[in-house]
A and B are shown apart, each in its own frame.
Chain A
Amino acid sequence: NAGVTQTPKFRILKIGQSMTLQCTQDMNHNYMYWYRQDPGMGLKLIYYSVGAGITDKGEVPNGYNVSRSTTEDFPLRLELAAPSQTSVYFCASRPREGLSDTQYFGPGTRLTVL
């Protein structure tokens, strides 16, 4: 069981470039999330998904897009990178069933936009 995996670990982009951050989980979790963490700040929710084909915006969705074609994968797309998107991005997942809201996080992708 690998849990939640993210690729790449690091990336440097130029302003205006695009990229996709990959996230995969092998726990058969229905719910998946994308957060960003800026220096000295807590994590902020970008987008989330309750299942394949269903996504919704979080607190800071501007400049990002997501898709969920399978239970396992939840990629995050940056279309026109801006310096304000320099951050560490975390993907997380949790099962739908049960009382716990515990989310399981991937190791993160550190993105720098220059």
Chain B
Amino acid sequence: DQQVKQNSPSLSVQEGRISILNCDYTNSMFDYFLWYKKYPAEGPTFLISISSIKDKNEDGRFTVFLNKSAKHLSLHIVPSQPGDSAVYFCAASLYSGGGADGLTFGKGTHLIIQP
């Protein structure tokens, strides 16, 4: 039973345009959400996060939106750059603010930025 779902295995976007990556979750107890970026043969690197008490968080070109009622979050990258080509993982945590439990990950979306 997959609690965090990324239904698009891959996404191709033209350089300079907006990339939108989607993530759905089923566990209403999730309290904190994160996006990680992963290049081949490297570990995931943290990109941006959002607490369940917010509906938007922005960091430079990256914005994460959270719709709690729909159990849906999305990552927007504007403008998309060639270096953004990577696999993006959506992850969720049960406890924000001190919980030790690990993260629950989606399967990832491979973003390809075309010149």
Tell me the residues in window 78-102 of chain B with beta carbons closer than 8 Å to chain A beta carbons: 89, 91, 93, 95-102
Residues of B contacting A102 in the complex (Cβ-Cβ under 8 angstroms): 34, 46, 49
Chain B residue with the shortest CB-CB distance to A105: B43
A107:B32 contact, CB within 8 angstroms: no
Tell me the residues in window 8-64 of chain A with beta carbons closer than 8 Å to chain B beta carbons: 31, 33, 35, 40-45, 48, 50, 56, 58-59
Tell me the residues in window 88-114 of chain A with beta carbons closer than 8 Å to chain B beta carbons: 90, 92, 96-108
| Number of interface residues, chain A, beta carbon within 8 A | 30
* CB-based A-B contact count at 8 angstroms: 73
Residues of A contacting B43 in the complex (Cβ-Cβ under 8 angstroms): 4, 90, 92, 105-108
Chain A residue with the shortest CB-CB distance to B9: A40
Query: Most chain-A Cβ atoms within 10 A of its Cβ — which of B91, B98, B102?
Result: B102
Q: How far is the CA of A58 from the CA of B91 in the complex (A)?
A: 15
**A residues neighboring B (CB under 8 Å):** 4, 31, 33, 35, 40-45, 48, 50, 56, 58-59, 90, 92, 96-108
**B residues neighboring A (CB under 8 Å):** 4, 6, 9, 32, 34, 36, 41-46, 49, 51, 89, 91, 93, 95-108
